[in-house]
Amino acid sequence: MGTSEEFSVPQRALEGSMRDFRVQKGPDLIGRCEAFYEWQDVRRQCGTWPFSRSTEKGPSASCAVRDDRGILAEGVNFASQDYLSLSSHPAVAAAAKAAIDDMGVHSAGSPALVGNTSTSIGLDQQLADFVQMREAILYPTGWAAGFGVIKGLVRDHDYILIDALAHACLQVGAAAATRNVVPFRHLNVDDARKKITAIRSANPDAGILIVTEGLFSMDSDVPDISAFQTLARQYGALLVVDVAHDLGNLGPGGTGHIGAQGMLGQVDLIMGSFSKTFGSNGGFVATDNRAVKEYLRFYSPSCTFSNALSPAQVATIAKALEIVRSEEGQVLREKLMSNVLSLREQIRNRGMEFYGDPSAIVAVKTGAEALARLTARELPALGLLANLVEFPAVAKGQARFRLQVMAGHTADEIEAAAASMEAGMKLAALQLEERVSPVFLAKAS
Ligand SMILES: Cc1ncc(COP(=O)(O)O)c(C=O)c1O
């Protein structure tokens, strides 16, 4: 356990958000960074900046983490995205080591040149089989895949209809591809229909890409994938679904919400990441069409102009995928879901609320940033490693702690997480009350 924070918290550390520093004027590009740094440092010094932390020995279910002041804390780890605990699986580590012995450490080239290896070509196909599509193409990260699939296919005269809460890689990819980006209300098929009707009638010749996720990573909620695919077909549009958080750890055989909704092999494009369930950096796009795969390889800049996955990354992902598809994978998914349900129940029983449907993401509501930041300051000493989420990852006033559950968490670790979360929020609420009490205000003035 870390030591309790001794520093007092200036009001400035509880106010403002990263939004305040996003757009700044003036010619001095370096100077513009200063105001953010000054605000961040106020937060850092008083322990309300729980970002940029490092694990001492990797992201295990309980571990030691150093914050960016260098202060060490130990506790149960609900801050890592290793949902089936495969990053510490002995067979996965052995596969990565063997790949280094066989093929060295570097792919040394783009997938459009000679960056592919015999194993990465095999992984393409295994992945395509897993999601029941004909083709898959690998990217260096999930972010690169999300950005790249959109930027690769959409041109400036085309339109993008995108869920308002879609991940940054999708939003940034959309903005880079065209000015015609139309957000629809989160999960709302009717709103998307209204918007696509207007777009199509005014632009009969434009391409339209509809963008959503299989499981939303901050809210743990799920779209009606079939309804979005039907909408896309009706209007001559294409649907892409980002399955970064559900593929491998949810749904029948680990096929995520696409599988759970009976849509395997029926979605136009699937885009995913290996960084949550498959133990490695990396991402992919799956399609039924070889022409799309080849087009993306040469027109998706985050694939064409970026180095291919290294042999160790490919071997890690391939072994993780093999486990995901095995009996052992099923057992791990069941363990994960039982941990998820237990954590949700304990959070609820302790009087706290969370967002969304059961998934490895249990996002505990705090709402006000001040309460959330004071809670974040208490958690290391209470032995809980959890990520504070605030703007820009979620809207202002909707801060939360995103607890990410692993199959490898024990019942004791789940209980400890719920208890520490409650204790942290209670302490923070008391501190907030004190701050607005007449005694505190008199002392402060
Ligand atoms: C929904 C979603 N898509 C894509 C990504 C990017 O994945 P990666 O970490 O592999 O770059 C993330 C990761 O945060 C995500 O949450």
CB atoms within 10 A of CB 224: 16
What percentage of the chain carries pLDDT values higher than 90?
93
CA distances from residue 53 to 59, 222, 251 in whole angstroms, order as listed = 11, 30, 32
pLDDT at 2: 43
275, 278, 402, best to mutate for ligand 1 pocket (most atoms within 8 Å of CB): 275
Q: Give yes or no: residues 63 and 108 share one domain.
A: no
Closest CA to 138 of 385, 327, 394, 313: 313
In a domain, 133, yes or no: yes
Instruction: Read off the amino acid at residue 167.
Output: H
Q: How far is the CA of 190 from the centre of ligand 1 (A)?
A: 27
Q: 135-139 and 208-213 as β-strands: parallel, antiparallel, unpaired?
A: unpaired
Poorest-pLDDT segment among 117-126, 217-226, 400-409? 117-126
169, 276, 277, 309, best to mutate for ligand 1 pocket (most atoms within 8 Å of CB): 169
Helices (DSSP H) in 73-117: which residue ranges?
A: 90-103
What is d(CA 255, CA 262) in angstroms, rounded to the nearest whole number? 10
> Listing from the earlier edge strand, what are the strands of the sheet with 238-242?
135-139, 283-287, 269-273, 238-242, 208-213, 159-163, 181-184
176 has a pLDDT exceeding 50: yes
Shortest-distance Cα residue to atom 7 of ligand 1: 142
What is d(CA 37, CA 105) in angstroms, rounded to the nearest whole number? 36
pLDDT at 3: 43
Q: Give yes or no: residues 253 and 108 share one domain.
A: yes
Q: Give yes or no: residues 290 and 420 share one domain.
A: no
Instruction: Find the mean pLDDT for residues 49-68.
Output: 95
Helix (H, G, I), strand (E, B) or coil at 13: helix
State the residue range of the domain holding 212. 90-324
Q: In the numeric block, which tokens belong to residue 200? A: 């199509």
Q: Give yes or no: residues 273 and 313 share one domain.
A: yes
User: Mind listing the pLDDT tens digit for each residue in 158-170?
Assistant: 999 999 999 999 9
Q: Give yes or no: residues 302 and 178 share one domain.
A: yes
Q: In the numeric block, which tokens belong to residue 159? A: 């339109």
In a domain, 150, yes or no: yes
What is d(CA 329, CA 411) in angstroms, rounded to the nearest whole number? 20
Domain-terminating residue out of 272, 295, 324: 324
Q: Give yes or no: residues 179 and 268 share one domain.
A: yes
Q: Give yes or no: residues 182 and 254 share one domain.
A: yes
Index of the ligand 1 atom closest to the CA of residue 282: 10
For residue 439, the domain's CATH number is: 3.90.1150.10
pLDDT at 1: 42
Confidence of residue 435 (pLDDT cuts 50, 70, 90): confident
Instruction: Find the mean pLDDT for residues 422-443.
Output: 81
Distance of CA 281 to the CA centre of its chain: 12
User: Mind listing the pLDDT tens digit for each residue in 352-391?
Assistant: 999 999 999 999 999 999 999 999 999 999 999 999 999 8
